[in-house]
Structure 1
Amino acid sequence: MALLFALVNIIGWSLIPLTVKDLPQSQIAGIGIGASVTALIIYLFTGPAFDDATWAVAFIAGMLWTIGQMGQFISYTRIGVSGTIPLSAGFQLVGNSLIGVLIFSEWPTAQAKVIGFIALALVVIGIVLSSRSDDKGSGNANAKNIAFLLIRTIGFWIYSSFPKLIAKDINPGVNGLDYIFPEMLGVLVGTVIYVIGSHSTAVYLNKMIWRNSLAGVEFGIGTLFYLFFVKQNGVTNAFIYSQLCSVISTFGDIWFLHEEKSKRQMTYIIIGLIFIVGAVF
């Protein structure tokens, strides 16, 4: 059952970069709509109970997710999807693994720590290789753009860790159904705040908002199964498996969205992903 949760999560999240289109503001607005509607439907059919503390933490987690996702969408325009996804996956793997180990005491044995940190070293190598670029390919993975993506990834780190915080310190009996709705409501509020703050409210009147809302449905379903997986396997393991979506997203962008890459860039991306996937296992 755990592997089924992981598979649905991976597929749901991997389809998002292949679905969204138009300006980053339209992409994030559509995500907010689709994710919140999906969560509302789940809530109406399941009627889960949750306390005020769980609601508040889940809501804040959803708002913080917006920071990370906007960084990713903006990076699509700067680095390209196939350049952004491996970098983002690597940053998230390293950050969330360290949070799980240092804050939630996962990887408790010395052997687990040794294997885990070797794996994280492989992730770093994969990040470096995936970010290599040349003048012939698309994308500009320079230090400024990479730093921008890294800083925004902090939103993903906090968002991904909050389910463990809820289960450990707030409500030990909670599961994904109990807080998917307040979390996706936080996503909606966060996206609306961003759109208003960037003076881009016109995106809500653009027909492309409906396509981007489909990506929100993919995100909502993927997140629900991610939360189930967290409950069974912990933040570190769940998030490590979830980042296998980077492989599907990266090659899906190159094959289906026809993002141009030179042979040299493709070589670096493939080798980098091999290191990241190897580190996952």
Structure 2
Amino acid sequence: MDLLLMFLPAIAWGVLPLFVAKVKGQPINQIFGTAIGTLLVSIIVFLLLRPTLSWQSFLLAVVTGFFWVMGQLGQYTGFREIGVSQTMPLSTGLQLVGTSLIGVLVFGEWASTSAKLFGALGILLLIVGSIFTSVHDSGVQQEANPQRTRTMVMLVLTTVGFLVYNTIPKAMAASGLAIFLPESLGMVVAVLVYIAITHQPQVLRQKASWQSVLAGLIFSVAAITYILSVRDNGVNTAFVISQLSVVLSTIGGMVFLHEHKSGRELFFTLLGLVLIVIGAITTTVF
């Protein structure tokens, strides 16, 4: 059972981008459906477990849901503009680097000299790995390069949302399944606010929005099993294994979504994935 819990988050988070990319519609449809699906699962979990939570922790968890929408909307936009196999390694690498730095600067992690050295090495590997997965043959589709550059800049900026989403729970006394419901409430409220601000009420009626509810169920499986894996296998093991999702989603993007890469691009992408996984292990285990 521990082994199953260890790998389920990686499988679910790896499958999620592939499913989302297959749904016909815009990123706003996909993020709406994902948020609704997550809320439905969180309500069931709450009714079954009845976890207790202070109102301060409840509000903080709602805020994390708001920031998750920022990060996930950027990621879903990346899927549409440059593909899953380019978006996921870059997004994952940015999150790992940012989370590691926040852990050091805010929470005082990597206290020993050896931890700082291995941590710095891990961050370097993550940066180089992310750069390698972004290698693009300049002679191909030259006219699309400006859009690709804008999309990559957007991914860098929206990753801030994921960093806040990953960081706030660390500072809370309550964590795990107790904050799952308020987080999902924050997700739904944030999406509805975004829909209202951008004047897109039609999103609430579109088929693609409700088809994307399944994405929320997949996300929930990943989130819940990750929490349980942390409990049974420890933070380091659970976190590192969960990062294998980037390998599954990137290769899946090329195989199942038929995202084309030249021989050179494929070589650097696979090499970058290896470096990202090694970097994740280095920054976490050592």
Same fold per TM (> 0.5)? yes
2:113 paired with 1:113: no
Amino acid of the structure 2 residue aligned with 1:215? A
Rounded to whole Å, the distance in 2 between the matches of 1:110 and 1:133 is 37
Distance 1:259 1:194, change over 3 A: same
- Equivalent position SS for 2:212: helix
2:92 pairs with 89, 114, 118, which one? 89
Give 1:67's aligned residue: 70
Question: Paired residue for 1:32?
Answer: 35
Retained in 1: the 8 A contact 2:5–2:226? yes
Are positions 1:8 and 2:8 aligned together? Answer: yes
Q: Name 1:101's counterpart in structure 2.
A: 104
Aligned counterpart in structure 1 of residue 171 of structure 2, from 143, 148, 165:
165
% identical equivalent positions: 36
- TM-aligned CA deviation for residue 41 of structure 1: 0.8
Change (3 A) 1:56 1:230: farther
What residue is the counterpart of 2:265 in the other structure? 265
User: Which of 121, 124, 132 does residue 129 from structure 1 map onto?
Assistant: 132
Query: Structure 1 residues 219 and 209, CA, compared in 2 at 3 Å: closer, same or farther?
Result: same
Partner Cα separation in structure 2 for residue 44 and residue 137 of structure 1: 52
> CA 1:29–1:107 in structure 2 vs 1: closer, same or farther (change >3 Å)?
same
Normalising by structure 1, what TM-score? 0.89
Displacement of 1:196 after TM fit?
Answer: 2.3
Partner residue of 1:146? 152
How far apart are the structure 1 equivalents of 2:5 and 2:114?
A: 27
Contact 1:93 1:239 in 2 (8 A): no
Between 1:225-234 and 1:52-61, the stretch displaced more is 225-234
Q: Over residues 158-177 of structure 1, what are the superposed CA-to-partner deviations in whole Å (9 max), with x where a residue is unaligned?
A: 000111111xxxx2xx3412
Q: CA deviation at 1:113?
A: 1.6
How far residue 252 of structure 1 moved from its aligned partner, in angstroms, is 0.9
Tell whether the 8 Å contact from 1:59 to 1:183 is kept in structure 2 after alignment: yes
Mapped to 1, the partners of 2:241 and 2:65 lie a distance apart of: 20
Q: How does 1:186-201 map to 2 (within 5 A)?
A: 186-201=186-201
Task: Verify: 1:248 aligned to 2:248, yes or no.
Answer: yes
- 1:34-93 CA-partner distances (Å, limit 9, x unpaired): 010011111111111111011011110011100001111111222211111100000000
1:15 is paired with a residue whose SS is helix
Q: Aligned partner of 2:157: which letter?
A: I
Q: Distance in 2 between matches of 1:153 and 1:230?
A: 23
Quote how far apart the aligned CAs of 1:142 are: 4.6
Alignment deviations for residues 84-103 of structure 1 (CA, whole Å, 9 cap, x no partner)? 11000000000001111221
Residues 35-46 of structure 1 mapped to structure 2, 5 A cutoff: 35-46=38-49
| C-alpha distance after superposition, 1:103-151 (max 9, x if no partner) | 1122222111211110110111111111111244798585433221111
Moved more, 218-227 or 120-129: 218-227
| Structure 2 Cα separation of the partners of residues 137 and 252 of structure 1 | 23
Q: How much does 1:271 deviate? A: 1.1
How far does the alpha carbon of each residue in 1:232-270 deviate from its partner, in whole angstroms, 9 at most, with x for none?
745x77555433211111111111111222222111211
Task: Tell me the residue number matched to 2:214.
Answer: 214
Give distance in 2, aligned partners of 1:108 and 1:177: 29
1:29/1:209 contact within 8 Å kept: yes
For 1:200 and 1:254, locate their aligned partners in 2 and report how far apart those are by CA, in whole Å.
32
Read off the aligned partner of 2:41 and give its amino acid letter: T
Per the alignment, residue 284 of structure 2 pairs with: none
- CA 1:15–1:272: 2 relative to 1, 3 Å: same
* TM alignment of 1:225-236, pairs within 5 A: 225-228=225-228, 233=234
